[in-house]
Amino acid sequence: MLAEWPLEAGSTYLNHGTVGVTPRRVLQVQRTIHDAIEAQPSRYILRELTQLGHYSRRSVPRLREAASAVAAFVGAKGDDLVFVDNATTGANAVLRSFPFTAGDEVLVSDLGYGGVTNAVRFTARERGAVVRVIEMPDPVRTPGEIVEAYRSSVGPRTVLAVVDHITAESALVVPLAEVAAALRPRGVAVLADGAHAPGSVALDIQALGVDWYVANLHKWAWTPRSSGLLWAAPDRQASLHPPVISWGLDQGFTAEFDTVGTRDPAPHLSAPAALALFEEFGGDSVRRYNHDLVWAGARLLAERWGTPFETPETMVGTMATVPLPVSLGSTREEAQRLRAELLYEDGIEVQMHAFRDRLRTRVSAQIYNEPADFERLAEAVARRA
């Protein structure tokens, strides 16, 4: 499958989870869309793209057509889903629209994505709300530990919880539906951060019981950068607004998010082609191959380095995080230095980070990867330990 991707020859790319790679065939679709836009820019952007355009002979606007295709892939209705630049943009929309009052409490996890956590802190600071960071067990040995951590953290002023579907650095598949079920009876709304979920795990957003779901399409769903989605439960849509207010104001949920000023729509419009290719290559088989490869690869790395890997297989999707040998350091700066050495000296691109005084690597598996990629990483790190 490597020939289907435009990766640099001779490189070992184990970091699809940070910056996903777009298949060649999808990039060609994106180029075709760009050419069509440039052939008649005003017609395409002003008349055909959104429902607020001038008179158009298209029965369905292009963005709504693409949104329906994406919605079918993630278990949702097209009218409940809009495109955003990325999951962080979607999270900002929810947070900036939420009716916080002074003293309200927001729950976040210490395994959450830093960019979204910063957005929570910023919004809370503006509104006088309180951010409570839940410290998760290390290691997490059962899904129930995460459910209980959220359940036991709810206080009398807790109004919102940000829950990762797949944690960013630790790469844990979280029992999202169970967390939402534990929080909803307590009156806590749930913003789900599914940045890594589409294409990584099978999705049925409507069945999860969350209030909002944000995700990226430009990672595991093979869509060009930058493209993400924001799903909102029907009763949450009227009060939800994009970070950029433009001509769609007060024209309805989809119109408001579809019309946020001039932007490049090609990544979003390429999403149906990316998802079609994903299904052509096997869909469930793609997810299964990636899961099996990263599960085997993580255990190989831990065995070679003599480090613990205690994550249950049920909490592994297409990424896994493995502790590095203690001799390699414990700080963020040491993680960044090692990551750079692996790239520039060994041609290996992989995520490295420091968490609780231990260096860790998060490895990703995509169908262009093979077991030998993990062998190369194991050897390169062992030489430095």
Each residue's pLDDT tens digit, 2-27 = 999 999 999 999 999 999 999 999 99
DSSP secondary structure code for residue 166 in this structure:
B
Nearest-angstrom CA–CA distance, 79 and 233: 10
Interatomic CA distance for residues 253 and 238, integer angstroms: 6
Per-residue confidence (pLDDT) for residue 50, from 0 to 100: 93
**Integer Cα distance of 161 and 144 in angstroms:** 17
Q: What is the pLDDT of residue 207?
A: 97
* E strands, 40-195, in order: 81-84, 105-109, 130-134, 158-164, 189-194
Question: In sequence order, what are the beta bridge partners of 362?
Answer: 321, 351
Candidate CATH numbers 3.90.1300.10, 3.40.50.150, 3.40.50.170, 3.40.640.10; the one for domain 42-277: 3.40.640.10
Residue 339 has a pLDDT of: 97
**Residues in the chain with pLDDT < 50?**
none
Q: How far apart are CA 161 and CA 191, in angstroms?
A: 6
CATH no. of 282-384: 3.90.1150.10
Altogether, the residues listed in the chain come to a count of: 385
Whether residue 224 contacts residue 218, with contact meaning beta carbons closer than 8 Å, is answered with yes
Q: Which helix (H) or strand (E) holds 30?
A: helix 24-39
pLDDT of residue 261: 86
Q: How many CA atoms lie within 13 A of 118 on its CB side?
A: 5
Q: Are residues 174 and 194 in contact, defined by beta-carbon separation less than 8 angstroms?
A: no
User: Which token pair is 89?
Assistant: 């943009």
- Where in the sequence of the chain do the CATH 3.90.1150.10 domains occur? 282-384
Q: Where in the chain is the domain with CATH 3.40.640.10?
A: 42-277
The pLDDT assigned to 128 comes to 97
Q: How, if at all, do strands 158-164 and 189-194 pair?
A: parallel
What lies within 8 Å, CB to CB, of 3 at 6+ separation is none
pLDDT of residue 382: 98
What letter represents residue 42's amino acid? S
Model pLDDT, residue 56 = 78
Give one word for 346, left, alpha or beta, with left for phi > 0 and alpha for psi -120 to 50: alpha
- 199, two tokens: 């294409």
pLDDT of res. 52 = 84
Determine the pLDDT at residue 55. 77
